[in-house]
């Protein structure tokens, strides 16, 4: 049995140190997974740069971990319905499971949660809370989901971005059979929203991106998008006019805004939906105030929803989509990195490293 566990620790913005920590002692109520892969998302980029997260002290990042249960207490096994050897994906939030919010199903609002997977400082025992490590601790209140062990690691690790697509477009946006949906932002979660919308029968799916995202826009069409358009460059499309044209003025039922930092797409989302339509806001702006015309929201009877993370029902639906084999998800994955390459992996997703073609990037701690 391995006694010391290697982990990538972020000590300050853009600084990762390789450290070793003792393997936790597992009791009747907790467990340990051998991390197979951990996906990287836009918030990892922003946390790595220091734009998000604030001061928390050194911590092990990685909030999309997926792996094989290595040790498990008997009470934990009964509670989670899993066994040693099962493959599971973990949610970020580690709720208390005892407060009113938790007991009525609003565990994401738990006020008593202590950090979470991929965000908890190493000062909090037993240290191994993040997915950028060889092994990861399973708290008695961790939220997990079983995933088919026959899936390739890089495909199984997509449960979170596809779960975001399900949560934001379908569960919050209400996209259903025959609907028109506009997705602003062609990152992996935008592509996840394309998959989710098509999985429930949306008739027209439009996704936007930048000219430099042409490879993502091409991929979106392979995943089922009916229209994939660039909103900048010499052939820039005015998305509001475009949606009006393809719907004969009826506009979209739902718009999902996923762009990081940008203000313009928020107003494009508002203008792209029909009277009584829904706008889902999921793109973080690092605290920036975004000017909007509230009269438009009132006069067009729009519904606004803020998308906070991915909950358990969306994760389960996403895993079902992945396991169905219905979509060519292997085309989403572009880069695989080892544990000592965490910084490069994050920079590759952001475009600071590599040739700018990254879509889904994952870190595999046991990669040779």
Instruction: Encode pLDDT of 119-153 as tens digits.
Output: 999 999 999 999 999 999 999 999 999 999 999 99
Give domain 4-158+332-363's CATH number out of 3.30.360.10, 3.30.300.30, 3.10.129.10, 3.90.180.10. 3.90.180.10
Rounded-to-10 torsion of CA 326, 161, 358, 117: -140
pLDDT tens-place string over residues 261-315: 888 999 999 999 999 999 999 998 878 889 999 999 999 999 999 999 999 999 9
Contacts of 255 (CB under 8 A, 6+ apart): 181, 182, 183, 184, 268, 269, 270, 272, 273, 277, 278, 279, 280
d(CA 327, CA 367): 26
Give pLDDT, residue 55. 67
Q: Which residues contact 313 (CB under 8 A, 6 or more apart)?
A: 171
Please give the pLDDT value at position 138.
98
**Per-domain boundaries in the chain:** 4-158+332-363, 164-306
Looking at 284-332, list the stretches that DSSP marks H as alpha helix, in order from N- to C-terminal side: 294-299, 312-324
Measured between alpha carbons, how far is 21 from 24 in angstroms, rounded to an integer? 9
Q: Name which of 273, 277, 67, 280 is nearest 164 in CA terms.
A: 280
What residues of the chain score a pLDDT lower than 70?
54-55
Contacts of 347 (CB under 8 A, 6+ apart): 353, 354
CATH architecture designation of domain 164-306: 3-Layer(aba) Sandwich (3.40)
Residue spans of beta strands (DSSP E) within the chain: 4-12, 15-22, 31-40, 65-72, 87-90, 135-138, 144-146, 180-184, 204-209, 227-230, 252-257, 273-281, 303-306, 333-337, 360-363
Q: Which of 155, 149, 213, 158 is closest to 183 using CA atoms?
A: 213
Cis peptide bond N-terminal to 80, omega within 30: no
């Amino acid at each position: 049995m391995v006694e010391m566990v290697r982990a990538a620790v972020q000590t300050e913005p853009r600084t990762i140190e390789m450290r070793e920590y003792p393997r936790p002692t597992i009791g009747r109520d907790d467990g340990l997974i051998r991390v197979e892969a951990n996906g990287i998302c836009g918030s990892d980029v922003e946390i790595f740069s220091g734009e998000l997260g604030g001061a928390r002290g050194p911590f092990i990042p990685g909030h999309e971990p997926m792996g094989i249960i290595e040790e498990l207490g008997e009470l934990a096994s009964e509670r989670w319905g899993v066994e040693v050897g099962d493959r599971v994906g973990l949610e970020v939030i580690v709720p208390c499971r005892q407060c009113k919010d938790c007991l009525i199903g609003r565990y994401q609002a738990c006020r008593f949660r202590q950090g979470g997977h991929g965000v908890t400082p190493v000062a909090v025992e037993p240290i191994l809370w993040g997915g950028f490590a060889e092994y990861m601790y399973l708290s008695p209140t961790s939220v997990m989901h079983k995933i088919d062990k026959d899936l390739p690691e890089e495909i199984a690790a997509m449960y979170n971005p596809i779960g975001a697509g399900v949560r934001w477009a379908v569960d919050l946006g209400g996209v259903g059979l025959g609907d028109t949906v506009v997705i602003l932002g062609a990152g992996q979660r935008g592509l996840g929203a394309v998959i989710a919308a098509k999985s429930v029968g949306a008739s027209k799916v439009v996704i936007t991106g930048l000219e430099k995202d042409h490879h993502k826009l091409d991929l979106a069409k392979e995943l089922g998008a009916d229209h994939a358009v660039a909103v900048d460059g010499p052939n820039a499309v005015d998305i509001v006019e475009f949606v009006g044209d393809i719907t004969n003025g009826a506009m979209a039922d739902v718009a999902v805004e996923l762009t990081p930092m940008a203000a313009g797409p928020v107003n494009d989302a508002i203008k792209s939906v029909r009277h009584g339509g829904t706008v889902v806001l999921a793109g973080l702006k690092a605290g920036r105030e975004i000017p909007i015309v509230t009269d438009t929201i009132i006069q067009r009877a729009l519904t606004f929803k803020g998308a906070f993370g991915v909950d358990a029902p969306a994760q389960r639906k996403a895993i079902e989509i992945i396991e169905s084999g219905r979509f060519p998800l292997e085309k989403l994955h572009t880069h695989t990195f080892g544990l000592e390459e965490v910084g490069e992996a994050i920079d590759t997703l952001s475009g600071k490293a590599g040739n700018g073609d990254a879509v889904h990037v994952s870190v595999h701690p046991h990669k040779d």
